[in-house]
Amino acid sequence: MLKIEDKPVSGLLDLSGKRAVVTGAAAGIGYAIAKRLAEAGATVLITDINREAIEEAEHRLSSMKCKVKSLVSDAGREADIKSLFSYVADSFGGVDILVNNAGIYPATKILDMSLEQWREVIRINLESAFLCSQEAGRIMVRQGTGGVIVNISSMAALKPCFPGLAHYGASKGGVVNLTRSTALELAPHKIRAVAVVPGGILTGGVRSNLKQSEEKDSLQSIGATIPLGGFGQPDDIARTVLFLASDSAAYITGTTILVDGGAMLV
């Protein structure tokens, strides 16, 4: 096997033979990530709680000749996560890449937020990343061949973006720090962990929250405040994850990659 430094540029993003799991992959960022990983040669298991949506995603990806399977799973439920990775071990023989993307962001202002609403966002966004990282990490350690865990956080982890997202920002801030601890503890096993922080990425969920928001700014006016101009697309995040999952990023771990068009600069 060639050393990384001896690989041609064309081979640095090649994921042939790699096995990947992407949570929350029925649409948006998760779907785009799964597509890019599969295009690079990985066999990808996509999961989501919505059966119809995840099966449709599998159908679309399979029609593109991607090697993909789907599984219905609640990313915040421990029993579901254990079943998910048991399936991965049995059907795929292991896992090399985990992308923790599952998340929710229902807008509710602090003074109106119930404890149940708070806990539900923490469960789906933070506990799911912990549970999946734990199960995937155990498999990767047993394999003895390293691995990559990419956690999708949010700019809300670094600064408030909109009113009503305190629970979301707290959960995503937790994801960033979970990533650092994971990277430190698993580094002896050659398992890397990296957080990706999307800025304004135009997804269905973002559109929904903007409509519900009391803010008067339109998509156009918000996009105009981003230095590179306009919202990003899910594929902007997908290409970043592809890089991080590949040999090109073999010496990157424990860090946070901001993909925001420069939004944090202003």
Residue 92 has which token pair?
A: 């795929």
- In a 13 Å sphere around the CA of 147, the CA atoms on its Cβ side amount to 27
- Residues 76-104 have a mean pLDDT of 97
Residue 219: per-residue pLDDT:
72
Phi/psi at 44 (5° precision): -120, 130
Does residue 59 or residue 6 have the better pLDDT?
59
Residue 209: per-residue pLDDT:
59
Q: Which fold has domain 16-257?
A: Rossmann fold (3.40.50)
Whole-number Å distance between alpha carbons of 196 and 29:
11
Residue 223: per-residue pLDDT:
80
Please spell the DSSP secondary structure of 189-235, one letter per residue.
GTEEEEEEEE-SB--HHHHHHHHHSS----HHHHHTTSTT-S-B-HH
Where along the chain do its domains lie? 16-257
Residue 216: per-residue pLDDT:
43
Residue 21, beta-bridge partner list: 45, 98
- Residues 114-122 have a mean pLDDT of 97
- Span of 16-25, 71-80, 224-233 with lowest mean pLDDT: 224-233
Phi/psi at 69 (5° precision): -130, 155
Residue 148, beta-bridge partner list: 97, 192
> What are the residue numbers of the active site?
168
Residue 162: per-residue pLDDT:
82
pLDDT over 80 (residue 170): yes
- Residues 90-99 have a mean pLDDT of 98
The mean pLDDT value of the chain amounts to 93
pLDDT over 80 (residue 217): no
Contact status, residue 136 vs residue 147, Cβ threshold 8 Å = yes
Residue 230: per-residue pLDDT:
84
pLDDT over 90 (residue 220): no
Reading phi first (left if > 0) and then psi (alpha if -120 to 50, else beta), residue 100 is in beta
Contact status, residue 263 vs residue 227, Cβ threshold 8 Å = yes
